[in-house]
Amino acid sequence: VGVLGGGQLARMMAEAAVRLDVRLRVYQTSAEGPSSVLPDVHTGAWTDSECIDAFLAGCDVVTLDNEWVDLGTVVDRLPPDVSLRPGVETMNRVRDKIRQKAHMEAYGLPLGLYEGCHDRSSLDEVARRFGFPLVAKRPTHSYDGYGNRTVHDRTQLHAAFDELGGGGPLLVEQWVPFVQELAVIVARRPGGQAVAYPVTATQQRNHKCESVEVPAAVEHSVAELATELSLAAAEVFDCVGVVGVELFMLEDGRLLLNEIAPRPHNTGHYTIDACSTSQFENHLRAVLDLPLGETTLLRPAAAMVNVLGKRLGKSQSASLASALAVPGASVHLYGKDVVRPGRKMGHVTAVGASIEEARNRATEAARRLEL
Ligand SMILES: Nc1ncnc2c1ncn2[C@@H]1O[C@H](COP(=O)(O)OP(=O)(O)OP(=O)(O)O)[C@@H](O)[C@H]1O
Ligand SMILES: [Mg+2]
């Protein structure tokens, strides 16, 4: 399996690949990514056809570690017997958040109000129609909250257009008054067979995922609907592999889709330590068209807390021993050389007899990590 992109997702896929004796090869653009420690890594530009050819030679399947990979050269050079999974059509529909929303809307999936704004007069028109606050998003290349902001007035909205739009359109969304955010990890094979993991409750701060708890404390009917919508979303984009689906739950239990990501997802990292099959193993199984593994939660509850950078500088692991001393906490570090405030440096998962127990353990271990 070739993986385009050498971030933490490729690195965690490699762990799962070793168990199945699947040979994993990574293509990265920087020599110092989380995947640099892996044995078979090719480093080059996305447009370096020689380097891409060497990477593709011998691959059965090529998959992605992030959706911002520049696919042009890869697609041009892809040998006829090598599959790209997820495929180009899926990626093109998902990558641009405006296009992604239009596609979901066309299939009748429930969404909040949104508009792609191409100029200043459309900004004002949308602000009048939706009212403030609004969420402004750069339609492409935004992730982990980079490229998103909540705007409270006309000045902030126009500033977002200049600073996030970058000359292209700006996605403007009505503020969704959610009471809880949910996420569901789906794994889907090329023929459409799919499995879903338990529904998780996610906590975001500054538009960035901070922690995840599972099972989400929601009514059974809400969990069922979330699962149904997530499977439907994976299907309408014809996703192959793992897909992370993010949803908003409203006060009356109604659900709206926020976005999907056609790859293993931060809100599914807990599956490594808490489920029968991790999302990374199921991603590999799905892209290789192998039978999917069970998604059962092995303990009553699990929690995952992201370890975010708190400073700018070289990372260090001096605090590891202290975090590892927390009983029941599984520490995952991504091997990023440089820490930046807010950068995802690792995560901690804990399981427990209750959500509280799992949350306390994971929070305590994450707090102790000073990278
Ligand atoms: N329309 C909205 N109304 C209210 N909150 C929103 C809205 N859109 C986004 N948010 C908040 O911002 C968070 C990040 O938004 P979104 O998922 O679109 O961005 P992202 O940068 O792609 O995030 P990530 O990569 O972390 O999933 C959401 O999880 C939610 O907390
Ligand atoms: Mg998101």
Ligand 2 ion local residues (Cβ < 5 A): 246
Closest CA to 284 of 68, 65, 75: 65
The CA distance from 1 to 287, in Å, is 9
Is the pLDDT higher at 324 or at 143? 324
pLDDT of residue 317: 82
Amino acid at 50: E
Closest CA to 317 of 341, 330, 342, 334: 334
Closest CA to 227 of 209, 214, 208, 210: 214
Q: Is the pLDDT of residue 127 over 80?
A: yes
Number of the ligand 1 atom closest to the C-alpha atom of 137: 18
Q: Is the pLDDT of residue 139 over 80?
A: yes
Could you tell me the pTM of the whole model?
0.96
pLDDT of residue 166: 75
pLDDT of residue 233: 98
Q: Is the pLDDT of residue 146 over 90?
A: no
Q: Whose CA is nearest to atom 15 of ligand 1?
A: 207
pLDDT of residue 136: 96
Which residues approach ligand 1 with their CB closer than 6 A? 112, 135, 137, 142-145, 147-148, 173, 175-176, 181, 204, 207-209, 246, 258-259
Three-point CA angle 272, 366, 218, nearest 5°: 60
In a mutational test of the pocket of ligand 1, which residue from 172, 173, 182, 207 has the highest number of ligand atoms less than 8 Å from its CB? 207
Per residue in 62-117, pLDDT tens?
999 999 899 999 999 999 999 999 999 999 999 999 999 999 999 999 999 999 99
Number of the ligand 1 atom closest to the C-alpha atom of 146: 21
Q: Whose CA is nearest to atom 30 of ligand 1?
A: 207
Tell how far the Cα of 169 is from the centroid of ligand 1, in angstroms: 18
The CA R_g of the chain, rounded to the nearest whole Å, is 20
pLDDT of residue 105: 98
168 — pLDDT class (breaks 50, 70, 90) = confident
Ligand with smallest separation from the Cα of 151: 1
pLDDT of residue 145: 74
Average confidence score pLDDT of the chain: 96
Ligand with smallest separation from the Cα of 9: 1
Distances (CA, A) of 32 to 4, 23, 337, 338: 15, 21, 7, 10
Q: Is the pLDDT of residue 292 over 90?
A: yes
Amino acid at 14: A
- Min mean pLDDT across 144-153, 235-244, 351-360 is at 144-153
pLDDT of residue 165: 77
In a mutational test of the pocket of ligand 1, which residue from 137, 178, 209, 258 has the highest number of ligand atoms less than 8 Å from its CB? 258
Question: What percent of the chain has pLDDT above 70?
Answer: 100
Amino acid at 233: A
Amino acid at 240: V
pLDDT of residue 143: 76
320 — pLDDT class (breaks 50, 70, 90) = very high
Per residue in 199-237, pLDDT tens?
999 999 988 999 999 999 999 999 999 999 999 999 999
pLDDT of residue 296: 98
Tokens describing residue 264: 């293993």
